[in-house]
């Protein structure tokens, strides 16, 4: 194959899924000349699995992407067909937005954003190898022979890299949704010595809505009050579709168990490790045999198609068995299927070989993001893509890395978990993974992150000014509630309705709001002045006041956390020279090369005693 030189770039992004799109946009918006490569332009921002954005923990990631100047929140606000806030019956720390998307429109809007972005070229082409100069990446080589030299390269290959599809006894090389896989690049990376592993994921069948009996299912409507994902939007329109809930049953489980060995998973064809928190239906039925039923959500894939997604029923069963067990479910008895479910294996990297800025430890200028790093989910991919794009642009212009810690963002939790603890299965974000989730709420991501995004040149002036207005309005309203006092008799009726005794003396609106069962909206009966502020500002003010005591406690915890995070470790530190630290800890510390004592303390196999020895040694050595 004859090779030839084409345009040079600061940043080349290999892959245009959710990670690649955010990476390319972030790099270009920061001034880097950027190329985004897609093996097929029809696969840009492809929703290969469920047609939705957000969810528990994931919604927080999307809000943070938006606060930093990313695109995912803006696109889902334009293309959602149903929106809900999950966990509303619980505290604000776990409130998580989720929206059903019109998946075709989502692809079109994201592709349009890439096409419109100054300094970014979007190109259909398959990268088959990387260019190197010793331990530094120099660019990419395409299947056509085209060479694009670059200062930095981002690998965001999703499930295309070495993709192989499984459906019962049938198995063949393929990317998701029938697109071609990237096999040559997979071999090239292995030949280069990268630590490649095999993971797998799956997707359920799609059926035609007009063939289903929705009257036999339970309707799931969206929220009346829709909370936008993007802080640039106050309102985003109305819900346009419903989802539907149904359940498996004893007949479903009988069909699956009778044919279990015909599953690619149980038949031994699949070798890759699958996601713990999104198992196939055959895995659910087999592992949780005590459960009489499993819930399924019927989700529309868009307004211009009759296809629906059967959430909760991914499978690697053959097509004939899929037809039988799907049709045993209430509402699906006469289902007409447009696409069979399947599992897909793909290649990914061991993220322990990455620094917290997502640069490879052994190959300078090579950044990695998304499912290539061992994560699952569109939101996790987009968050990593954003950070890889930021750091690739910073690297290309010889600027310091940008890293978020666990106390600043779910993005920080996600990346720290990947590069510090590693993964043995596809990683999924959940609120339970964040130690400081009361501070990392979905409502305040802009307050936490927009100034940081503005400082590195990613957040636009318009977005920054929007943030400043919202911040000022929130502070003004919180102060007003604290300073406005009401008489005991004025609050008597509200207190009685809420189950409280009358007051003996006056009280501020803030103190009144701190009481359980009393919400901000209820203050209208005693508040003579109601400012014209947005629902977002009202929500923030209420949370800040109601959770004030808990927030103060968490801030103290964060202060202690940051003391260890601020104790930096030299990259070339010789851990084997330390006495008093166990061999396992020395090996793991030397492999991961933590950037701080805090990161070192979270490495699996490093005990608190090992950390104490490290602290004593560093203090004696005068490194602090």
The pLDDT of residue 312 is above 90? yes
Instruction: Band the pLDDT of 622: cuts 50, 70, 90.
Output: low
| Domain definitions of the chain by residue range | 4-201+346-455, 206-343, 461-552, 566-620
Average pLDDT over residues 311-334: 97
d(CA 135, CA 55): 40
- pLDDT digits over 260-274, tens only? 999 999 999 998 988
The CATH class of 4-201+346-455 is alpha beta
Report whether pLDDT(491) > 60: yes
- Could you report the per-residue pLDDT of 89-147, keeping only the tens digit for each? 999 999 999 999 999 999 999 999 999 999 999 999 999 999 999 999 999 999 999 99
| Per-residue pLDDT at 526 | 87
Query: What would be the CATH architecture of the domain defined by 566-620?
Result: Orthogonal Bundle (1.10)
Higher pLDDT, 294 or 523: 294
Three-state SS for 307-351 is EEEEECCCCCCCHHHHHHHHCCCCCCCCCCEEECCEEEEEEEECH
Over residues 2-14, the mean pLDDT reads 97
Instruction: Evaluate the CA torsion angle 285, 287, 289, 290 in order and state its sign.
Output: negative
Q: Model confidence at 623, in pLDDT bands (50, 70, 90)?
A: low
Per-residue pLDDT at 621: 65
Low-confidence winner among 157-171, 467-481, 609-623 (lowest mean pLDDT): 609-623
The pLDDT of residue 529 is 81
R_g of the chain, CA atoms, integer Å: 26
Average pLDDT score over the chain: 94
Mean pLDDT within 77-81: 98
pLDDT tier for residue 624 given thresholds of 50, 70 and 90: low
Sheet holding 337-339, edge to edge: 218-220, 243-247, 295-300, 307-311, 206-208, 337-339
Mean pLDDT of 376-404: 97
User: Residue 577 has what pLDDT?
Assistant: 86
Distance from C-alpha of 261 to C-alpha of 531, rounded to nearest angstrom: 65
Mean pLDDT score, 282-287: 93
Please state the rounded mean pLDDT for residues 484-504: 84
Topology alike, domains 4-201+346-455 and 566-620: no
- pLDDT at residue 619 in the model: 80
Contact between 125 and 12 (Cβ < 8 Å): no
Confidence of residue 487 (pLDDT cuts 50, 70, 90): confident
**Thinking of the domain 206-343, which architecture would CATH place it in?**
Beta Barrel (2.40)
Report whether CATH 3.20.20.70 matches the domain 461-552.
no
């Amino acid at each position: 194959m004859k090779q030839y030189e084409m345009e040079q770039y600061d940043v080349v992004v290999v892959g245009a899924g959710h990670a690649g799109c955010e990476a390319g946009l972030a790099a270009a918006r920061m001034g880097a000349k950027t190329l985004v490569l897609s093996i097929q332009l029809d696969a840009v921002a492809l929703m290969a699995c469920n047609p939705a954005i957000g969810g528990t923990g994931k919604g927080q990631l999307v809000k943070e992407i938006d606060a930093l100047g990313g695109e995912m929140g803006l696109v889902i606000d334009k293309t959602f067909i149903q929106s809900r806030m999950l966990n509303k019956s619980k505290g604000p720390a776990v409130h998580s937005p989720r929206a059903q998307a019109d998946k075709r429109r989502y692809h079109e809007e994201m592709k349009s954003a890439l096409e419109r972005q100054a300094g970014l070229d979007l190109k259909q082409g398959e990268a088959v190898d990387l260019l190197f100069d010793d331990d530094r990446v120099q660019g990419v080589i395409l299947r056509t022979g085209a060479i694009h030299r670059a200062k930095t390269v981002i690998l965001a290959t999703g499930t295309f890299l070495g993709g192989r599809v499984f459906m019962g006894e049938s198995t063949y090389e393929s990317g998701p949704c029938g697109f071609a896989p990237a096999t040559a690049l997979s071999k090239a990376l292995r030949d280069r010595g990268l630590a490649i592993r095999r993971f797998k994921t799956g997707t359920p069948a799609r059926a035609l809505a007009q063939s289903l009996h929705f009257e036999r299912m339970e309707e799931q409507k969206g929220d009346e009050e829709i909370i936008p994902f993007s802080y640039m939007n106050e309102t985003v329109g109305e819900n346009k579709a419903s989802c539907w809930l149904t359940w498996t049953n004893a007949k479903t489980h009988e069909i699956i168990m009778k044919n279990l060995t015909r599953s690619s998973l149980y038949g031994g064809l699949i070798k890759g490790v699958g996601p713990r928190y999104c198992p196939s239906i055959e895995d659910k039925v087999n592992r949780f045999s005590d459960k009489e039923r499993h819930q399924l959500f019927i989700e529309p894939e868009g307004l211009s198609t009759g296809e629906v997604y059967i959430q909760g029923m991914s499978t690697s069963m053959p097509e004939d068995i899929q037809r039988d067990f799907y049709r045993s479910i209430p509402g699906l008895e006469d289902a007409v299927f447009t696409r069979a479910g399947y599992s897909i294996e793909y290649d990914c990297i061991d993220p322990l070989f990455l620094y917290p800025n997502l640069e490879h430890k052994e190959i300078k200028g090579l950044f990695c993001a998304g499912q290539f790093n061992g994560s699952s989910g569109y939101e996790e991919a987009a968050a990593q893509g954003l950070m890889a794009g930021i750091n690739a642009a910073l690297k290309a212009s010889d600027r310091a890395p940008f890293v978020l810690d666990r106390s600043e963002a779910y993005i920080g939790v996600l990346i720290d978990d990947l590069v510090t603890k590693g993964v043995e299965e596809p990683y999924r974000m959940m609120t339970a993974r964040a130690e400081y989730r009361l501070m990392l709420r979905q409502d305040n991501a802009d307050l936490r992150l927009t100034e940081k995004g503005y400082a590195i040149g990613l957040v636009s002036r318009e977005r920054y000014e929007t943030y400043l207005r919202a911040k000022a309005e929130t502070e003004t309203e919180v102060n007003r509630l604290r300073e406005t006092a009401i008489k005991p008799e004025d609050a008597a009726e509200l207190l009685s309705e809420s189950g409280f005794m009358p007051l003996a003396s006056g009280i501020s609106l803030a103190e009144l709001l701190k009481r359980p069962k009393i919400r901000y909206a209820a203050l209208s009966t005693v508040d003579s002045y109601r400012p014209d502020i947005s629902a977002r500002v009202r929500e923030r003010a209420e949370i800040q006041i109601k959770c004030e005591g808990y927030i103060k406690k968490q801030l103290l915890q964060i202060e202690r956390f940051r003391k260890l995070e601020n104790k930096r470790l030299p990259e070339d530190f010789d851990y084997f020279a330390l006495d008093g630290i166990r061999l396992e800890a020395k090996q793991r510390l030397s492999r991961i090369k933590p950037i701080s004592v805090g990161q070192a303390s979270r490495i699996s196999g490093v005990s608190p005693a090992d950390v104490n020895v490290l602290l004593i040694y560093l203090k004696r050595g005068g490194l602090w």
